[in-house]
Every structure is written in structure tokens, then in C-alpha cells.
Amino acid sequence: MMIEIERLWQALNDVPDPELPVVSLVELGIVRDVQVTAGKIVVTITPTFSGCPAHYAMQDAICDRLRQVTDAAIEIMTTYSPPWSSDWITDTAREKLRAFGIAPAPRHGGNVMLLEAVTCPNCGSANTVLRNPFGPTPCRMIYTCNDCRQPFEAFKPL
């Protein structure tokens, strides 16, 4: 039986992130690879953090979605090498996050120290200040905008 990789990617692109359902695991760059080996589907994922509490929810969601398009055996492998990078978030996902009120981390090309200011998703101002490095999940932080005075969440640059 032929398994079309493209179809698997399309199915996976429907799987929302358990913590941020506005974007998919593919758009966040968490799904790294899909291969078919000896009739078995092997999906490689890199969660945003090791010990990410949503890890098992992600695996279940991936399996449930793939079972809708294939009967083949599914194996999910987790790798932290290389570690997940916020640079992997696609442009589409960045727009969705911004529309949802979460500032996507600026692309840093591996040099987190050279980060530009985090831009307010409400008004676009770069005049923002970090309030709390511990947001609702380990991947997010709380900022406040000095211009529109709105607090907002930002993805940690990783």
C-alpha cells in the first residue's frame, strides 16, 4: 500500500497545538519530519520545551488525526537535537498569533542576544516592557505595552 507523505503532512497541518489552538503543530515547527519506513509512519516531533506538559496531548492528537487518513502503524519519535527554535514558527503562524494577541518571537537566526524589541500585537508599538518571564506556559512571557497600555503575551525566543 502506498502512503502519500504529502497527504500525511496535510492531515498533520490540521492538528492544533494543545496550548495554542489557533496554530497547528506543523506551523509551530514542532512536527519536524514524516517518513514511511516498511509501511510504518514515523513522525518526528520536537516539543518547544523538554518536559513540555502538552507532550502527551500532542502525541495523541497526531495519532488520532493520522488514523483518519491511514490504517498504517504510527510511531512518534521525540527529538530535542537540535532543540526547538522560535525561528521555526512559520510566517502564517506568526500572523495568526499576532491576530490572537500573542507577539511571536522575532527571528534571531540563532543569536538570541541580538533580539529586537518585542512588538505589541495590539498597536504595533516597539515600546514594550517585560513584566513577567513566567507566562501561562513555559513558552510564553507577559509584556506590557507603554503606548496602548495593554498587557500581552509573547513567545519566548528560543
Which residues of this chain interact with Zn ion, rule CB under 5 A?
Answer: 120, 122-123, 125, 145, 147-148
- Measured from the CB atom, the residue of 82 and 124 that comes closer to Zn ion is 124
Alpha helices in the chain (DSSP H): 5-12, 55-67, 91-100
CA distances from 34 to 78, 91, 154 (A): 12, 21, 29
Smallest distance, Å, CB 132 to Zn ion?
17
Count other C-beta atoms under 10 Å from residue 153's C-beta.
20
- Measured from the CB atom, the residue of 55 and 94 that comes closer to Zn ion is 94
- Measured from the CB atom, the residue of 76 and 123 that comes closer to Zn ion is 123
Question: Strand 151-155 relative to strand 140-145: parallel, antiparallel, unpaired?
Answer: antiparallel
Smallest distance, Å, CB 74 to Zn ion?
43
Three-class HEC string of 18-35: CCCCCCECCCCCCEEEEE
- Asked whether the CA dihedral 154, 78, 3, 18 is positive or negative, the reply is negative
Smallest distance, Å, CB 122 to Zn ion?
4
- Measured from the CB atom, the residue of 17 and 153 that comes closer to Zn ion is 153
Smallest distance, Å, CB 35 to Zn ion?
43
Smallest distance, Å, CB 97 to Zn ion?
15
Q: Which of 35, 129, 100 is nearest to 73 (CA)?
A: 35
